[in-house]
Structure 1
Amino acid sequence: MATLVVALSRILGLISCPIIIGADANAFSTMWFSRFTDHRGRLVEQLIDSKGLVCVNKRSPHTSFNGRRGRTNIDISLCSVGIADEIVDWEVIPDVTSSDHNVIRFAFGYSRPPFVAKPSRFDTRRADWTAFNAFLATVSLPAVQDPNALALAVASTISAAAAHAIPVSPERSTLKPPWWNADVHLARRLLKVAARRLRLDGPDGLPRYRAARNAYTATLRRAKTDSWRAFCTIHGASPWGKLYKWLKKGPRPTELPPSLRRPDGSFTGSVAETLDTLVRVLIPSSVDDSPLPPVAFFPPPHPISEDIIKSKIWRISPNKAPGLDRITGCVLRQAWPSMKDHIVRLFNECLKLGHFPSAWKTADVVVIKKGPDRDPCLPGSYRPISLLPTLGKAFEHVILDSILMDISPHLTGLQYGFTRGKSTSDAINDLLLWASGRLEKHVLAVIMDISGAFDNISWSSLIEDLAQLGASPLSLALVRSYLAGRTASFTYGGLRSLISLTRGCPQGSILGPVLWNVTMEDLLRRPVPPFARIQAYADDVAVVVSASTRAQLIQRASAILDLPLSWGSVRGLTFSAAKSKAVVLKGGLSPGFTIPFGESRIVSVQSAKFLGLRIGHDSTFRSHITEVCSKSQDLFSRLRGVFGHDWGPSWRNTNLLYDAVFIPRIAYAVRFWYTATLPVVVRNKLTSLQRPALIGISCAYRTAASEVLQVITGKFPLDIELTYQAARQNSRSLPVIDRSAYISAAYDRAVVTWQTRWDASFKGRWTHEFIPDVRLRLVTPL
């Protein structure tokens, strides 16, 4: 009991909000109307007094415990002093359950603000488009010139037509699970009957209760199994349906928890506190932020054409999540024939005045978890995504074209993210190529972490950076208007918060990525000496430095790191020294030394992850392979669980899922690390990783040898597959005319290697008699 009291006391110390506790104290005290007070009861009493709690138990004709060992009161209800008066009608209700503890019920007189529900989306699959267009044909918009009024009128008209002709998607409610059926319902009802009889019959009814419980458990297990197999069979008929999404992403991530941990270690105690904590962390704003500077403006010489505006609208996916107006790309496409004149007039008025309408500036913010390994109780584990009005996103495409036309000639080419024609593979290749080409003995890479990069960037600095890159007055005016007066609406737990934004690039917008690249260019354009390089992929910044000695390397790295430090301070951005990592790419320096970085120091480590690839000083990528195998086990296990000899996807779709889901995940950036698969120990590790998937595809027994499974399914051994995929990735740098021959040669080498291994293996000799030629197996359907 003493240990339990200490643990509960520690938990209560972390909670600052009013609290209610219901507990089986298993202790006696006259405070909760036991006949006497024992040692355990005194310990609980001391906890109540020290934490300022109140016991709200009332005297009752019934005891909270009524079992074979007697009748007494050992169940307690505690609460904070401030809400003790809100708890009323406390009572003990006997004979409700089969437990020897009776039910305790009380009312809590708490009033809360009205519940705010998020608007339901229009279900375009059930839309009556004839009625939709007929409604639009009867509506005439006012002849206004003000872009704000015109944008509001266009959106209101389309929304009204959608409400008239398109049903809304049903709200998610507590629906029965897919495995619930009549047998489960009957077994559960019989279990409830047996539980009630047990309370009346006592020990004599226990065999009947256990039999009903076992029958219910067996029925439930069978229903769940049958439901899962039916799901895999039905949705496995389409290779890109729900089963594909589940295999690729796994189970749906858990929703936002009701309580979050504050920076001081305490937890939020209400929905309002949780909402406030999320808003403060994820959507920062301040009245002290610098105002947007004024810009000169000259209207465009020519209006934008109807065809261009239509192409911008058609660039938006029909089923993308809409903003608060609920107008999706699909709805906007259907409205185009009736509303195109008004939309063209609206866009041209916006360009003529250099104005972004206020109706398009409110974002509906949703949060997604950054990764499955993130702590769900930390607000920083979530990323805010802005759902914006579709018409506004179409106009953002117009602004984007204007910006890119202005600034593209002045870009450094060192930003690989959000840039057409560049990828993570290019960023990794250029970094490693630069490191290997240096003549100095040591090369150090510092992978830098910007805290809340997209959400904290200064708007005034952003406008200045855009002007420095040669943006036209039109682009400057449109971006300034786009940023000014933005708001974010965040709904959680029935409460809504509307935040005025003063900084940041909206994540989920069209302009957000290019605006980030604009501000990043100022860092990338700064002159650096020949022994250093700074490059970026979105907000992932890599600083690479070479030197001949350890002391010189640290001194040079510290000097170069002052550049991003000063760049970030002007723009309201901060670097996290704790999350930033330094890793030696060349030379024999042992990790553990530190590099000065402002008032902090960055620690060098054995290996660090850069754009999904773990790089280190040994250049063997062993640590990356270990991490890939560890993280990919769940993928192959999921594939194993969707097949059976008479259920699941077809053989064709099975192979498609294997090739389209799992191989790309394993083979990410394999061109850099495929040579690390050559050792036998690594080959065996990859074979073990591949084995569950091959068992699922072939429906073979678990005792079948992996070499046999590979031949039967016609799948390369994973190490050979990775070598072949590396060749495919390398072929992208070749002229188009040479790629096909290069890939064909790599395929032939893979087949020869596999054939040699298959002939030399001691396993599967009986299978070898039937399938001796793996090349023939690859072209023969089984």
Structure 2
Amino acid sequence: MYAVQGAACDTTESIEGFWKLARWARRRGGVQPTYTPTLHAGNQTYDTPERKAQVLQETLFPPPPEADLSDIPDYEYPEPLQMPAITEKEVCQAVRQAAPNKAPGPDGIPNLTLHHALAIPVFLDHLTNLFNTCLQLGYCPEHFRKSTTVVLRKPGKPDYADPKAYRPIALLNTIRKALEAVIASRISYMVEAHSLLPQTHVGGRRGRSCEHAIHLLLERVLASWRTGALVATLLTLDVSGAFDNTAHKRLIHNLRKRRVPINAVNWIASFLHHRITDIVLMEGATGQFTTDTGIPQGSPLSPILYLFYNADLIDQIHEAYPGKATVTGYIDDICILVWSQAAAANCRRLEQIHKIAEQWEAQHASKFAPAKYGLIHLWQKVRGVPRPLSSTNASTNASVKVQGVEVKPVPTLHYLGVQLDQHLTGMKQIEHAQVKATEMIAALCSIAGSTWEITLSHLHQISTWFIQAGWGFKAAENAARKALESIQHKALYRIAGAFRTTSQAALKICLNILPPMIALERAAKESYLRIATSPLMATLIEIRHSGQRPAPRNAWERRRHMQWATTPDHDPLTSPLERWGRRIAISQNRLEVIHPHVTPPWWSGLESHIAETREDALAAHQAAVHSSADIIAYTDGSLTEQGVGAAVVSPLGCQAVHIGSPATHTIYAAELRGIEMALTQIGNTERGWDIQLYWLPGHEGIYGNECADALAKEAANSPAPNSVEELTLMASTQRALRIEAASAWKSEWAASTHGNSLRRYGKNPQKHQCNYTKAYREPPHQSSFKCKFGRLRWLVILAPLMLWNQLNALVDVVVKIYAMFSSTGSRRELDYRAYLTRPDLVLKAVRFMLETGLLGQFQTLPTTYRVTTTDLGQPAA
């Protein structure tokens, strides 16, 4: 048992090991297999590794149907975009962004080796030349096309004797993956800069996530309800073996028709041709085979390539049904939404739309799986709004019949991790999250025992990951309050090792964990910011404005419309995104737009130098000062309570400007404005000047630097100009949300009548109250918490005090603890608080309790697992 505890301690020394332990706790229910079970396909049984590999190859890499390529020969392609040569900066970024300890491909070279090799100039030069030559020739070396295919179980499958219950993952050569990453980054930039893909194709693109796709769907449904549609119907499609059955000729055609550079297209064609892979089971390698179909899963290029592969499906449906259907794509997940007065009419339209999908299926050699489709009818459950066409339930039971399969509607549909119910109340998602969170509490118990050496900071992160994730778009509503508070309380007990009678409010203070509703409200507003600052927000607003209510038909409707106009939050058809935008109270046109790619990947920028020490930075400055050919400009930014300012001081002139308030700007924005002002002073940068950026430490007596600092502060404290309205930065708004959450927490704590035993140690929630316990292993922080919560009285430790004082190494702490009691036995509150608030005294008090074994659960710990001076943050004697 102690060996397991020690292993857990060693595992959490690194952040990777910590999350590995967290995932183990989450999935610990099943027994991990050590071999692949006997597989069954049809009437055949496959029991040897070679036969298992054979059936897996036939199942996972089946020969795809012939694609209809009749439209390709006569197609006139548009002028392709241009792709310049690959730079050394791109190569370095691609190599360093790869995880260093990922499993390598057949060459056996781990990414960590490439990370270290980048420090060798000749290696980086040769690697860049190799990548450029491959791109210019449109050729992927044969060595790069070899891979190892690891067959993994799909989680949650009932029968692993079925070959379809496995997923192939390709382990690729690391140098090849670096080249793929460079090309994928370039294509991703061109997608956003030149709008090569549909706006509603959300997944696999930088700056877009599942929450963008969910809110895109919600905005469209609510807009249709506002226009008078009684029911909206959602159909989710499923493509069998989407990546593995990709037709290469069709993919190349789709890339060329969407203007992808021809050199990249030629390289991708070579990269996909005649690939060799070796299937590896748990029993070992089973031999190589050749595949000429599909896109290897695990490749950095695979997501962006499949976006091009099925983009035509989205465009064709939108062109055939403008304003009557919305198609949302998330890589290989496609959903179709239609709306009208009746569910049956929606189903007939979906059947017509599916015929377009079947044409795409024939052209792309894909295979739909209607048995895995999902169908749900979404309708309002609001007073005064009639149910679709009738008062019976029959109108919402209409089904869709496609390819001989009847797809029946369900009351709850799982889409992109969210449980959508028929009325979009979000309650099903809350119930689902509650069940998952309960499972996570059980997982937390397995690693948060009071004698396990897991640090408090790690347990804090696990609880946030386990408990507060996955509550959905309605998570911050009052409906989730009771469920989430109950779940969070159970988690906090496990983390702190507290008794069940401990106040919830006190637990949150000591662990510095926000109350659930405050945390979720902040998370909802931050989610709004991520969406509102993305380019997709323009599409969402366009959809929202398309759903205008018809004129009221009677006095009752007029009163309701007037009420909703004055109090939009009470309007049941206000989208969650719009509601949270109003609560933040920032106009959409005042928020910055964060573009996925500010500059092309091959843009080199200015050369910058950040010294490792202040002394090195000052030495570099002295060398520049003594060079008569250099023009030195000093820039600085300042943030005060009055505003944000930037300044530049150079031989070309001095300039300072007030750029905004702390509510709209950050100090980093001020620093960038100062650099921009310096570049503007230079004027024409095409004269061949070598412009370099150097970091200088402040307040080192450098005259130009001190002048720039003084001017920036003066500009920050000056009145703001009235001429220009500056945009609000996302970072400054996030800072305001953090301050708002902290203020709400303080108000809640002040109004609470619980946790009185803790109030003597601090009146308000403050982060520093738990900073000195976050790095502790379990026993120290649990001991101090029990004392703070008033659940372990100091009088209990008075009896064995005289015996323990014989330990010479701890005489000092005995004297100080004994000093908390007068000769009459009364406590001196000032000293008592000090021993549970001052870090140095807390460490000694905790050590006293653990060494004496006063807490029963620690008496069985061997000496090696007792708290040590290192654990307590003190140097070993």
Q: Same fold by TM (over 0.5)?
A: yes
Q: 2:68 and 2:398 mapped to 1: Cα distance?
A: 39
Cα displacement (A) at 1:405 = 5.9
Contact 1:641 1:696 in 2 (8 A): no
- Structure 1 residues 311 and 745: alpha-carbon distance in aligned structure 2, compared to 1, 3 A threshold: closer
Distance of 1:635 and 1:747 partners within structure 2: 27
Flag the 1:776–1:259 CA change in 2: closer, same or farther, 3 A.
closer
CA contact (8 A) 2:50 2:286 kept: no
C-alpha separation in 2, matches of 1:779 and 1:373 = 46
- SS state at 2:274 partner: coil
1:726 counterpart = 2:524:
yes
Equivalent in the alignment of 2:475 = 674
Q: Which residue of 256, 278, 297 maps to 1:489?
A: 278
The change in CA–CA distance for 1:744 and 1:730 in structure 2 (over 3 A counts) is farther
User: Deviations 1:280-310 (Å, cap 9, x if unpaired)?
Assistant: 1222336967899999999999754445444
Amino acid at match of 1:606: P
Deviation at 1:755, TM superposition (A): 5.3
Deviation at 1:453, TM superposition (A): 0.9
Q: What displacement does 1:658 show?
A: 3.0
Question: Which runs of 5 or more structure 2 residues have no equivalent in the other structure?
Answer: 381-386, 534-590, 592-728, 771-836, 838-877
Computed over aligned residues only, the root mean square deviation of the Cα atoms, in angstroms, reads: 3.4
The match for 2:417 among 612, 635, 644 is 612
1:572 correspondence with 2:365: yes
2:99 partner letter: S
**Aligned counterpart in structure 2 of residue 601 of structure 1, from 406, 431, 440:** 406
Partner of 1:196: none
Equivalent pairs, count: 544
**Structure 2 equivalent of residue 738 of structure 1:** 733
* Closer, same or farther: CA 593–249 of 1 in aligned 2, 3 Å: farther
SS in 1 for 2:359: helix
Indicate whether 1:325 and 2:119 are aligned. Answer: no
Quote how far apart the aligned CAs of 1:741 are.
2.5
Aligned residue for 1:262, secondary structure, equals strand
C-alpha distance 462-234 of structure 1, shift in aligned 2 (>3 A):
closer
Partner of 1:551: 344
Q: Indicate the residue corresponding to 1:272 in structure 2.
A: 50
Alignment of 1:136-151 (within 5 A): none
8 Å Cα contact 2:440-2:466 kept in structure 1 = yes
- Which whole-Å deviations, capped at 9, do the CAs of 1:46-96 have from their partners, x for residues lacking one? xxxxxxxxxxxxxxxxxxxxxxxxxxxxxxxxxxxxxxxxxxxxxxxxxxx
| Aligned residues of 1:716 and 1:754 also touching (Cα < 8 A) | no
Matches of 1:718 and 1:299 in 2, distance apart? 50
2:238·2:370 contact (CA, 8 Å) conserved in 1? yes
How far apart, in 1, do the equivalents of 2:347 and 2:293 lie? 35
Q: Letter of the 1:321 partner, please give it.
A: A
Q: Residue in 1 aligned with 2:138? A: 354
Task: Write the deviation string for residues 745-773 of structure 1: whole angstroms up to 9, x where unpaired.
Answer: 344345545655x33xxxx5764776895
Asked if the contact 2:448–2:494 (Cα under 8 Å) also holds between the matched residues in 1, the reply is yes
Question: Is the 8 Å Cα contact of residues 430 and 475 (structure 2) preserved in structure 1?
Answer: no
What is the Cα deviation at residue 556 of structure 1? 1.7
Q: Which amino acid counterpart does residue 141 of structure 2 have in structure 1?
A: P
Counterpart of 1:364 in 2: which secondary structure? strand
Secondary structure (helix, strand or coil) at the match of 1:536 reads strand
Structure 1: which 5+ runs fail to align?
1-223
Read off the aligned partner of 2:5 and give its amino acid letter: R
Q: CA deviation at 1:710?
A: 4.2
Determine if contact 2:69/2:363 at 8 Å carries over to the other structure: no
Q: What is the CA-CA distance between 1:624 and the residue it aligns to?
A: 1.2
What pairs up with 1:584-733 in 2 under 5 angstroms? 584-587=377-380, 588=387, 590=393, 592-659=397-464, 661-663=465-467, 666-668=468-470, 670=472, 672-676=473-477, 678-679=478-479, 682-702=480-500, 704=502, 706=504, 709-710=507-508, 712-732=510-530, 733=532
Contact kept in structure 2, 1:367 and 1:383, CA below 8 Å = yes
- Are the structure 2 counterparts of residues 560 and 340 from structure 1 closer, same or farther at C-alpha, using a change threshold of 3 Å? same
For 1:651 and 1:267, the matched residues in 2 are separated by 51
Cα distance per residue 1:467-521 (max 9 Å; x no partner): 2112233222112111111122112324523222122111111221111011121
1:399 alignment partner in structure 2: 183
**Superposed displacement of residue 437, structure 1:** 0.8
Structure 2 distance, partners of 1:246, 1:301, is 43
Residue deviations 1:650-670 (CA, integer Å, cap 9, x gap) = 3344334434x335xx33364
SS in 2 for 1:522: helix
SS of match in other structure, 1:347: helix
Tell which deviates more after alignment, 560-569 or 570-579.
Answer: 560-569
- In 2, distance between residues paired with 1:355 and 1:563? 36
What corresponds to 2:314 in structure 1?
524
Q: Distance in 2 between matches of 1:552 and 1:618?
A: 19
Q: 2:248 is matched with which residue: 459, 463, 467?
A: 459
Q: Are the counterparts in 1 of residues 67 and 365 from structure 2 also a CA contact under 8 Å?
A: no
After superposition, the Cα gap between the structure-2 partners of 1:649 and 1:497, relative to the gap in structure 1 and judged at 3 Å, is same
C-alpha separation in 2, matches of 1:276 and 1:339? 40
**Alignment deviations for residues 519-559 of structure 1 (CA, whole Å, 9 cap, x no partner):** 12111222132021001111111111111223322222222
| 1:619-651 CA-partner distances (Å, limit 9, x unpaired) | 222211121122222322222333344542233
The one of 301, 319, 324 equivalent to 1:511 is 301
Alignment partners' CA distance in 2, 1:332 and 1:742: 41
Query: Match of 2:233, SS?
Result: strand
Corresponding residue SS for 1:615: strand
Partner of 2:857: none
Instruction: Sort the Cα spacing of 1:702 and 1:648 in 2 relative to 1 into closer, same or farther, 3 A.
Output: farther
* Residue of 289, 299, 303 corresponding to 1:499: 289
Say which is worse superposed, 640-649 or 465-474, in terms of deviation. 640-649
Contact 1:606 1:617 in 2 (8 A): yes
One of 100, 124, 148 as aligned partner of 1:364? 148
- Is 1:535 the counterpart of 2:321? The answer is no
- Where 1:479 maps in the other structure, the secondary structure is helix
Mean Cα displacement is larger for which, 346-355 or 619-628? 346-355
Aligned partner of 2:773 in structure 1 is none
Aligned-partner SS, 1:544: strand
1:429 equivalenced with 2:208 (yes/no): no
Q: Secondary structure at the match of 1:673?
A: coil
Q: Contact 2:433–2:470 at 8 Å: present in 1 too?
A: no
Contact residue 244 and residue 296 of structure 2 kept, 8 A: yes
Label 1:426 to 1:496 Cα distance change in 2 as closer, same or farther (>3 A): same
Structure 1 pair 414–709 and aligned structure 2 pair: CA distance change class (3 A)? same
| Residue correspondence of structure 1 range 305-344 to structure 2 within 5 A | 305-336=87-118, 337=120, 338-344=122-128
Map 1:98-247; keep pairs closer than 5 Å: 224=1, 226-236=2-12, 238=13, 240-247=15-22
Other structure's SS at 1:604 match: coil
Does the residue aligned with 1:725 lie in a helix, a strand or coil? helix
SS in 2 for 1:456: coil
Helix, strand or coil for the counterpart of 1:377? coil
Normalised to the residue count of structure 2, the TM-score between the two structures is 0.57
* Residue 780 of structure 1 pairs with residue 769 of structure 2: yes
SS in 1 for 2:408: strand
Q: Distance in 2 between matches of 1:451 and 1:256?
A: 28
Shift of 1:327: 1.3
TM-aligned CA deviation for residue 688 of structure 1: 3.5
Alpha-carbon distance in structure 1 between the residues aligned to 2:132 and 2:368: 41
SS of the equivalent of 1:413 reads coil
Mapped contact 1:259–1:270 kept (Cα < 8 A)? no
Measure the CA separation in 2 of the matches of 1:446 and 1:777: 48
Q: Residues 396-426 of structure 1: CA distance to partner in whole angstroms, max 9, x if unpaired?
A: 2343355446655222222111101111111
How far apart are the structure 1 equivalents of 2:343 and 2:749? 45
Q: 1:259 to 1:695 in 2, by over 3 A?
A: same
Helix, strand or coil for the counterpart of 2:475? Answer: helix
SS at match of 1:674: coil
Question: Matched residues in 2 for 1:709 and 1:401: separation?
Answer: 46
More contact order relative to length (CA 8 Å, sep ≥ 6) = 2
